[in-house]
Amino acid sequence: MPADLKAMYEGILASCGGADNIVTLGCCMTRLRFTVKDEALVSPDALRKVRDVAGYFYSGSQHQLIVGPSTAGKLAAYFHEHHHFLPLSAAGTEEVFAPAAVPVSQESAPAVGEVKATKTAVRQKYSSRVSRACAVIGNIFLPLIPAYIGCGLLLGITNILSKTLLASDPNTVALLSVFGNGIFFYLNAIVGYNANKEFGGTPALGVAFAGILNMPALANVTLFGAALMPGKGGVIAVLLVCWAGSWLEKRLRAWIKGSAEMFVTPTLTILLVGLASLVLIQPLAGWLSDQLALQTQNALKHGGLLAGAVLGGTFLPLVMMGIHQSLVPIHQQLVNALGANPLFPILCMAGAGQVGASLAVLFKTRNAKLKTIVKNALPVGLLGIGEPLIYGVTLPLFKPFIGACLGAAVGGAVVAAFHVTSAIPFGVSGVVLFLALSNLHSVLFYALGFVTSVICGFAFTWKMGFDDPAENE
């Protein structure tokens, strides 16, 4: 049954102090995310009880509601149809919670001071530099996920068809490959646009920085006796250059006055950052990218079972904290450097372990509501979207969450031992990833790892048990 958007909308507003208390609002694949003016007006318990909300948590200054794929986008659109909230990227954590916005001397009631103290405590507790940095990376790459999914699936399907039904039709294969590579051809420019916007610079200058780094004509230019290499450093170079460029642009705008500013600032920014990017930033990013690929290969080659177990077993906590999107640049860089991603299939075992643990809960619990939650969340869990199961099932019960992590560790060890690789950086996971694996060998042993994770996640959870909630909980 589709979610009742109107009921969810009304329940959420009633639980967070009304529309006037919301500052920014947006969504990712499975979560409605928003920030507020006054934290004291938000009731987490009430948010958890809103109809069709599978879970709630607070991370990096954002209140996040797990509502599931498709529903998240529709619910965010429903809110924006009725109100004019800022998008999440329009106001950073510091801006939303800026204490200086209302001078202390102008506060007319003690309640305001109490609210500000609450907000300060919340900020100190949750808004660490790490969580803010991960939120920034997420805001840069999250908008790309639909394109990654669509293009990734097309590439995987094309890979299968090129060896079967279309083996004698290279023209059609080439055409489908063009469709599948659409996002990747302009990826650095899109990342540059989003990154500069997120770092507080002019988005179009981010496109210019990415263009400078990837210009084919660079191959005809030498600096200090060495030829330049277009695209060196990949998205890591783009992120570093955009960070430096936005920093310089903001300072130039503060220093340069008058009408000349609109001409001088972008010109000087492109010139100075362009030179710095080619002389310093791109070589550094290239070295970092090479080291990333080398160390990943060494860890999986020499660490084998242990490396896979650690990576697979620790990924669910990253998802739980909402910082797993910070790995996206690493996934992309591995594909750029190695031609395939050996890390992503290992991490996908986390979703399989979660499915196994949730199946154990389904068969063991006597709570009818919990059974319904598991049944509704399992299909999307099999597709690699794990948040509904995490926040609606395993994490609240805790022991099943540990069982899921242990199951993922066993499956991760299997996938790492047999060197399974994905042809795309990320985007599709779960059973859908079968379509985007590099070869038949990877398909077979990904299946083995997936089934192993499910079985072990089930077994660990069944053995450890859990405190079955009462019927009214």
In whole angstroms, how far apart are CA 385 and each of 181, 215, 380, 410? 24, 37, 5, 20
345: closest CA among 205, 258, 442?
442
When pLDDT is averaged across residues 280-305 and rounded to a whole number, the result is 86
Which pLDDT score, from 0 to 100, does residue 327 have? 79
Cα gap 34→151, rounded to integer Å: 29
Per-residue model confidence as pLDDT tens digits over 368-425: 888 988 988 898 888 887 778 887 889 888 899 999 999 999 999 999 999 999 887 7
| CATH architecture of the domain formed by 5-127 | 2-Layer Sandwich (3.30)
Q: Give the model confidence (pLDDT) of 423-445 as tens digits.
A: 877 777 888 888 888 788 999 99
Mean pLDDT, residues 304-329 taken together: 83
Assess whether pLDDT exceeds 80 at residue 324: no
Please check the confidence at residue 239 and state whether its pLDDT lies above 90.
yes
Selected catalytic residue, list 27, 28, 151, 242 = 28
Average pLDDT, the chain: 83
Mean per-residue pLDDT, 444-453: 96
Asked if residues 464 and 399 have their Cβ atoms less than 8 Å apart, the reply is yes
421 token code pair: 């690789």
Distance CA 344, CA 461 (A): 24
Q: Encode pLDDT of 27-37 as tens digits.
A: 877 789 999 99
Higher pLDDT among residues 212 and 473, named by residue = 212
Strands (E) across 345-416 are located at: none
Range of lowest pLDDT (8-17, 44-53, 62-71): 62-71
CB neighbours (10 Å) of residue 114?
11
pLDDT band at 211 (very low <50, low <70, confident <90, very high): very high
Which residue is listed with tokens 């990096």?
Answer: 60
89 band by pLDDT with thresholds 50, 70 and 90? low
Q: At what angle do helices 145-161 and 170-180 cross, to 10 degrees?
A: 160
C-alpha span between 297 and 307 (Å, rounded): 11
Residues 292-298 have a mean pLDDT of: 84
Tell me which amino acid residue 21 is. N
Inter-axis angle of helices 440-464 and 349-364, nearest 10? 40
CATH 3.30.1360.60 maps onto the chain at 5-127
Reply yes or no on whether the pLDDT at 16 is more than 90. Answer: yes
Q: For position 104, what pLDDT does the model report? A: 32
Distance, in Å, from the CA atom of 113 to the CA atom of 104, rounded to the nearest integer, reads: 8
pLDDT category at 136 given cuts 50, 70, 90 is confident
Could you give the CA distance from residue 463 to residue 399 in angstroms, rounded to a whole number?
10
Question: What percent of the chain stands above pLDDT 70?
Answer: 88
For residues 454 and 431, the answer to whether their CB atoms sit within 8 Å is no
pLDDT tens figures, 142-175: 788 788 888 888 888 888 888 888 889 999 989 9
What pLDDT, on a 0 to 100 scale, did the predictor assign at position 122?
Answer: 43
Q: State the pTM of this model.
A: 0.70
Tokens of 223: 């600096």
Angle between helices 440-464 and 399-417 (to 10 degrees): 150
Is residue 242 annotated as part of the catalytic site, yes or no?
Answer: no
Residues 450 and 415: their CA atoms lie apart, in Å, by: 8
Distance CA 213, CA 230 (A): 6
